[in-house]
Structure 1
Amino acid sequence: MTATITQPVLEVSGIRKSFFGVEVLKGIDFDVRPGEVHGLVGENGAGKSTLMKIIAGVQPADEGAVHYRGDEVRYAHPRQAMDDGIVTVFQEFTLLPERTVAQNVYLGREPRRGGFVDQKAMIRRTSELLTDLGVSFIDPQSRVGSLTVAEQQIVEIVKALSFDAQVISMDEPTAALSDREVELLYAIIRRLTSRGVAVIYVSHRLKEIFDLCDRITILKDGALVSTDETGALTTDELVRRMVGRSIQSYYPDAVEGTVVGEPRLELDGCGNAFVDGVSLTLRAGEIVGIAGLQGSGRTELVEGIFGIDPFVRGELRVDGAPIRISSARSAVAAGLALVSEDRKAQGLALGQSVLDNTLLVIRSVFSMRTAPARREVPGVLSSLEVSSRGLDQEVRFLSGGNQQKVVLAKWLLTQPQIVLFDEPTRGIDVGAKYAVYQLMRDLAAQGKAVLMVSSELPEVIGMSDRILVMHDGELVAELPAGAAEHEILGAATGATIEGGAR
């Protein structure tokens, strides 16, 4: 953390904004200083995105003022803010995948020579910006669609720097990054702040907020709760201010009366092209967590169980009976559900309504049950506390947390006995996370078996009755509930591989 006490480079005061008569920002005061990382946190619906859009010139404020480098500014278009040095890197990238890195960085602002685009100058300038960030592994002439998510994130940052950005806002920048890629982003942010660039950092990952930020501003229901130096806050106090609940109750205990019963799912030496020799038992009434580093085979394991990449070796049993799951359809028919890692690409039809998304699996696999299931939809959505304007609202307009709840509703309607969760709380706020955790506990209390993959170790430790650890495509350790992070990491990195999983 490199910031020192100095005058703000950007300051908003008394910002108010309403939509359809509902006030979503209620007199917000906020500022960011040169060389500072300022965390902006709050549940979905707290007003973070609206505030960022006002700063970026995407939307005008109804009341209040924005001051930049001492002068009041009123941007009618995001390009005006960008040209002035205020750039936002949104969670949904704005890159064109079929164009090169250099073409994306200077899109619409290509350097010209003699009336033609100066390709050499564009490539040279992009290379200089990449070098300035300490990034040597991205070729300015590479097609953006061939890059990893982390590399595309860097291209977005380079694009921001090409505007000589003095303020960069980042919205959930690590939502789809591995741990190693997160460390790379950390290094880039620190390099930016060392040069005096101010960073507004929005994230639901509290560890990142405490790792990176000099100050933290908390919003709740459109109102400013507090702005404090990071050192003055604890994680418990931050959560309490955000959601009104102590972190001690963040991971709910098992529901009273929950009983661990007979095996629901058994794998015996199962393998495919991605995992090998996996043996495990998942019992009714328990939540088993799967930990491991990116690329360890966690997602590939649940996709093998669910028939997306079927196992070609070993035996899989459901409720004691051997079964061949060769497709997702056969998995659903066998009583399995998979809450996938990427809800937007794999779990939802974004352009369809809440109702149509909730009925997606029922219509596909159990068409005869569509009519009675449709009658159950309002009750299921209500039990999950889905916030929407109605069943006909398109899910793309819902918050990340509410989108995830629609995915859960879709699967609950199938009445599964085995529920596989892959990164169930990625990109959703603290309050929505708690709702997902409580649902998992409720499913276990009903005698369902729950298998959860997560890259967040506190989540694995807080929710698991047992913890399985993967390394290099194999299940290498089984640890009890409450195992320490260093034990899990030791097995995940291959440093302490011993024994096996059962």
Structure 2
Amino acid sequence: MAGARAPLLEVTGLAKAFGRNAVLQGVSLRIAPGSVHALLGENGAGKSTLTRILLGMERADAGAMLLGGAPYAPASAESARRAGVVLVPQERTLCAHLTVADNVMLGIEPAARAGLGLRDRESARAVARRAIALVAGGPSRVPLDAPAGALGVADQQLVEIARALAQGGLREDGRLAARLLVLDEPTSSLGRDDAARLFDRVRALRDAGLAVLLVTHFLSDVRAHADRYTVLRDGRVAGEGDPREVEPARIVREMLGRALDDTRAIQAADAADTAPPDDGEVVLEARDVAGVKRPQRASLSLRRGEILGIAGLVGSGRTELLRILAGLDPKRSGTVALRARRGVGLLSEDRGGEGLMLGRSIAENVWLSPRAPRFAAPGSLLAEAARWIEKLAIRAAGPDQRAGELSGGNQQKVQLARLLREDFDVLLVDEPTRGIDVASKAQVLSLLRALAARGKAIVLVSSQLDELVTTCDRIAILRRGVLDPPRPASSWTEASLLLEASS
């Protein structure tokens, strides 16, 4: 068994804090050579910090690491790569206009012997060919001269892996110099068939001696493809073992930190019991909607006065669905019908980059809208903002304070103030409590319930499963790009949502 072999990587007592926030607390794990080791945990459990330390992007405050039996403490990503530890990030990083070969060798192009800053294109192409052959099962599967942007998502993922292996080093005989490959959510943007093909190649790399650290939320992938697993919860190791020897419910319990409720009755619930809590008019309806990449298929009906929750893992297409419903992103197929006189508003998950102008005042952010008068007296802006500051209990020095100076929770309230001032009939709310304190979370969720009681129709996307269960009327799961029919929120628990979303 993989777990009985001498470890390639041994981590002991790793600790890391950012200010007073202890992110890792005494984490230990062992990864065997030629194995797939899954790293699991809810958002904020410490997975990203652990992998960043392994990859030289962060330094641990305490603890020790051994790689191949030798002390390992990379001071940079480059030193980690030289040691043979490489990463394939969750988000694609390919240059779409460059060829496959150029993408594989980007940043590591060998120089021509003559110097003068010229590249040795023949040597670079040879390395790219070996890397693609390793990950694709042969050099012809992914053409070296094809533009990366012309490839399908699954083949782009293979190119990402080939580039990581090339960065870690390839010997002329085609053998790997890289020793540990970190795969961060590799199937989050893949359908089932493409995910299965990807894992075929991951198994081939494992059989060639490569160790793979698989960071994922998909329990089905873990049980099917991992030799060992480790669960992090609140910066500590909460569980580990052979995933084929334990039930998914145990892993979920380790992730959540509490007993798993009996979900058999929930899973057997009548599929026809999907009606909203009242017979309000349908104000938004989507039928078989598909985005450019995600979602692949989504249908929903939203009634006035209800909150419809959308659960799903990172990369499932939740944000993309909301942006299509809001008319911000194009759809590839399907129909969206809006039957709301006051229209639809979106609260963006990207508060700082898209939701607010952080360098501008609260008043300017609240007033910002295509519907607002083009010219308004400064006094009017300030008075309107002051009204919303009082109404939403925004903690601020005044309406002329810059939004970027507010806490995360108060910034979120400024976003909400703008939507409420517009008096939209439909609100699409994406991760409204991300990065805000407990008290602010309670205020925001209470406000959403109050808005629904006043007849607003709300679609709520949240990674916090307890928020969906306690706030929504119905909840639907978006899995691998496909939206399941919604069920009453009362038929869900946090555990059953996580189990369904990760299946």
Q: TM-score range by the shorter chain?
A: 0.5 to 0.7
1:318 aligned residue (331, 339, 342):
339
Provide structure 1 residue ranges, at least 5 long, that are not aligned to the other structure: 324-333, 382-389, 455-459, 484-502
Deviation at 1:273, TM superposition (A): 12
**Residues 367-378 of structure 1 mapped to structure 2, 5 A cutoff:** 367=372, 369-375=384-390
Residue matched to 2:52: 53
> What secondary structure, in the 3-state scheme, does the structure 2 residue paired with 1:200 have?
strand
For residues 257 and 232 of structure 2, the distance between their equivalents in structure 1, rounded to whole angstroms, comes to 12
Q: Which amino acid aligns with 2:368?
A: R
RMSD: 5.6
For residues 404 and 461 of structure 1, the distance between their equivalents in structure 2, rounded to whole angstroms, comes to 21
1:284 aligned residue (304, 319, 328):
304
Residue matched to 2:160: 156
Residue matched to 1:119: 121
Residue matched to 2:375: none
Deviation at 1:42, TM superposition (A): 2.1
> What secondary structure, in the 3-state scheme, does the structure 2 residue paired with 1:364 have?
coil
1:392 aligned residue (385, 394, 404):
404
For residues 358 and 40 of structure 1, the distance between their equivalents in structure 2, rounded to whole angstroms, comes to 44
Deviation at 1:461, TM superposition (A): 13
Q: Which amino acid aligns with 1:78?
A: A
Residue matched to 1:191: 204
> What secondary structure, in the 3-state scheme, does the structure 1 residue paired with 2:200 have?
helix
For residues 307 and 112 of structure 1, the distance between their equivalents in structure 2, rounded to whole angstroms, comes to 45
Note if contact 2:42-2:233 (Cα within 8 Å) is conserved in structure 1: yes
Note if contact 1:38-1:200 (Cα within 8 Å) is conserved in structure 2: yes
Aligned residues between the structures: 428
Q: Which amino acid aligns with 2:215?
A: V
Residue matched to 2:79: 80
Q: Which amino acid aligns with 1:212?
A: H
Q: Which amino acid aligns with 1:372?
A: R
Residue matched to 1:200: 213
Deviation at 1:272, TM superposition (A): 12
Q: Which amino acid aligns with 2:278?
A: V
Could you say if the C-alpha distance between residues 195 and 273 of structure 1 is closer, same or farther in structure 2, counting changes exceeding 3 Å? closer
Could you say if the C-alpha distance between residues 380 and 63 of structure 1 is closer, same or farther in structure 2, counting changes exceeding 3 Å? same
> What secondary structure, in the 3-state scheme, does the structure 2 residue paired with 1:38 have?
strand
Task: Give yes or no for the alignment of 1:171 onto 2:170.
Answer: no
Residue matched to 2:354: 349
Note if contact 1:215-1:228 (Cα within 8 Å) is conserved in structure 2: yes
For residues 103 and 353 of structure 2, the distance between their equivalents in structure 1, rounded to whole angstroms, comes to 29
TM-score between the two structures when normalised by the length of structure 2: 0.65
For residues 291 and 237 of structure 2, the distance between their equivalents in structure 1, rounded to whole angstroms, comes to 51
Question: Over residues 268-299 of structure 1, what are the superposed CA-to-partner deviations in whole Å (9 max), with x where a residue is unaligned?
Answer: 9999999xxx99854234566899xx999x96
2:239 aligned residue (226, 236, 240):
226
Could you say if the C-alpha distance between residues 284 and 168 of structure 1 is closer, same or farther in structure 2, counting changes exceeding 3 Å? same
Residue matched to 1:385: none
Could you say if the C-alpha distance between residues 411 and 197 of structure 1 is closer, same or farther in structure 2, counting changes exceeding 3 Å? farther
**Residues 193-342 of structure 1 mapped to structure 2, 5 A cutoff:** 193-246=206-259, 248=261, 259-265=277-283, 282-286=302-306, 303=324, 306=327, 316=337, 318=339, 334-338=342-346
Deviation at 1:17, TM superposition (A): 2.0
**Residues 21-60 of structure 1 mapped to structure 2, 5 A cutoff:** 21-60=20-59
Note if contact 1:357-1:406 (Cα within 8 Å) is conserved in structure 2: yes
Question: Over residues 374-423 of structure 1, what are the superposed CA-to-partner deviations in whole Å (9 max), with x where a residue is unaligned?
Answer: 55666699xxxxxxxx963799xx9xxx999998897577554324579x
Deviation at 1:158, TM superposition (A): 0.5
Note if contact 1:259-1:445 (Cα within 8 Å) is conserved in structure 2: no
Residue matched to 1:495: none
Note if contact 1:236-1:246 (Cα within 8 Å) is conserved in structure 2: no
Deviation at 1:6, TM superposition (A): 1.0
Could you say if the C-alpha distance between residues 282 and 42 of structure 1 is closer, same or farther in structure 2, counting changes exceeding 3 Å? closer
For residues 182 and 336 of structure 2, the distance between their equivalents in structure 1, rounded to whole angstroms, comes to 50
For residues 175 and 438 of structure 1, the distance between their equivalents in structure 2, rounded to whole angstroms, comes to 31
Note if contact 1:261-1:285 (Cα within 8 Å) is conserved in structure 2: no
Question: Over residues 185-234 of structure 1, what are the superposed CA-to-partner deviations in whole Å (9 max), with x where a residue is unaligned?
Answer: 32232222222211111123333333332222122222222222213443
Could you say if the C-alpha distance between residues 409 and 49 of structure 1 is closer, same or farther in structure 2, counting changes exceeding 3 Å? farther
Choose 71-80 or 6-15, whichever is displaced more. Answer: 71-80
Provide structure 2 residue ranges, at least 5 long, that are not aligned to the other structure: 169-176, 270-275, 293-297, 373-380, 397-401, 463-467, 492-503
For residues 336 and 235 of structure 2, the distance between their equivalents in structure 1, rounded to whole angstroms, comes to 53
> What secondary structure, in the 3-state scheme, does the structure 2 residue paired with 1:392 have?
helix
> What secondary structure, in the 3-state scheme, does the structure 2 residue paired with 1:102 have?
helix
Deviation at 1:174, TM superposition (A): 3.0
Deviation at 1:159, TM superposition (A): 1.4
Residue matched to 1:417: 425
TM-score between the two structures when normalised by the length of structure 1: 0.65
Could you say if the C-alpha distance between residues 309 and 203 of structure 1 is closer, same or farther in structure 2, counting changes exceeding 3 Å? closer
Task: Give yes or no for the alignment of 1:142 onto 2:157.
Answer: no
For residues 468 and 221 of structure 1, the distance between their equivalents in structure 2, rounded to whole angstroms, comes to 25
